[in-house]
Amino acid sequence: MKKTTQLLALAAAVCLLTACSPSPMDSTVALSANFIPKDSANKMIRSYQASIALPDSDTTAKLSSLIVNAEDLRSYLADTSITQVKMMFAHTLNYINSGHVGLPAGYRNDAFTLVLAGVKANGDYVYGAGTTVLNRCVPCPYSCMLGKAASPLLD
């Protein structure tokens, strides 16, 4: 369970990093130790996918990825005091408000999300307008992307 949670966190981090990374022409991306080769990422993704192998008919029971709107992320990260982004596992409000507060949901794509909060170097949170944080993670499968990004692997 712990390993699956770690893999899910890493997949979410890859999703976030690719959503706001500079263009492929930017040589600083290749120099960062926080980036891994796509074959390593695919190995990690395949392992997670194998761990949640369920019948294809059970589409809500397996969460493949979470997609974050890049413009929202760029807008939030425009605050240069943010040095890190904390990703917190959470239930969706729809899941909670339908009578499931505190109940296990596993990795159901209709129940699981991430709440993202910027963090300053001193460890304080950085909020958006008022006291807002980023949440609009769209689950896949449910609302997957088109093109090559529709695949669970990096192609």
Q: Give yes or no for a contact between 7 and 44, defined as CB atoms under 8 angstroms apart.
A: yes
Q: What is the mean pLDDT of residues 67-93?
A: 93
Q: Residue 135: inside a domain, yes or no?
A: yes
Segments forming the whole domain that contains residue 11: 2-150
Q: Residue 16: inside a domain, yes or no?
A: yes
pLDDT at position 81 is 96
Q: Residue 126: inside a domain, yes or no?
A: yes
Q: How far is CA 135 from the centre of its chain?
A: 10
Does 80 have pLDDT greater than 50? yes
Residue with tokens 């981090």: 13
End-to-end CA distance of the chain: 28
Question: Tell me, what DSSP letter sits at residue 53?
Answer: -
Q: What does the alpha-carbon distance between residue 60 and residue 138 come to, in Å, rounded to a whole number?
A: 13
pLDDT at position 20 is 43
The answer to which of 101-105, 115-119, 135-139 has the lowest mean pLDDT is 135-139
- 113 backbone dihedrals φ, ψ, rounded to 5°: -150, 180
Does 85 have pLDDT greater than 80? yes
pLDDT at position 32 is 65
For the record, the structure tokens of 2 come out as: 């712990």
Q: Residue 74: inside a domain, yes or no?
A: yes
Q: Residue 60: inside a domain, yes or no?
A: yes
Q: What does the alpha-carbon distance between residue 30 and residue 60 come to, in Å, rounded to a whole number?
A: 36
Q: How far is CA 13 from the centre of its chain?
A: 6
Q: Residue 45: inside a domain, yes or no?
A: yes
Question: Tell me, what DSSP letter sits at residue 116?
Answer: E
Q: Residue 155: inside a domain, yes or no?
A: no
Q: Residue 47: inside a domain, yes or no?
A: yes
pLDDT tens-place string over residues 20-76: 444 444 444 455 678 889 999 899 888 888 887 755 556 566 787 888 989 999 999
Q: How many domains does the chain have?
A: 1
The reported pTM is 0.70
- Quickly state the pLDDT bin for 126 (edges 50, 70, 90): very high
